[in-house]
Amino acid sequence: MIFKDLGLNSTRSSLFVTGLYGIAKFITTAVFLISVVETLGRRRSLIWTAFAQGFMMFYVAAFIALKDPHPREHVSAPGIIAVIAIFMFVSFYSFGWG
């Protein structure tokens, strides 16, 4: 649903991006657990990724509030950046909280 709010209006593209979202979440969680969690530490990773997640959601919220994308419009460049911000959010979530 959030991808439709960002301007990805077709069901096919929205489902494709949702699938990519799940794959990105799985891969980033696996990579972080295997390589980084013990060297960085859990407390620091929670703190830093919480700030990064907040920034990503702030951008998405600001984009929706300022642009108010309509389902019949094409996805603009800031809309694509908002989709990337959601993927970055899930990566940061996987690094710190997942």
- Residue range 19-70, pLDDT digits in tens: 888 888 888 888 877 877 777 777 888 888 899 999 999 999 998 888 776 6
Which residues lie closer than 8 Å to 74 by C-beta, 6 or more apart? Answer: 7
List of residues 6+ apart from 79 with CB closer than 8 A: 6, 7, 63, 67, 69
The residues spanned by each domain of the chain are 2-96
Decide: 29 and 98 in contact? Cβ < 8 Å: yes
Give me the pLDDT at residue 46, please: 86
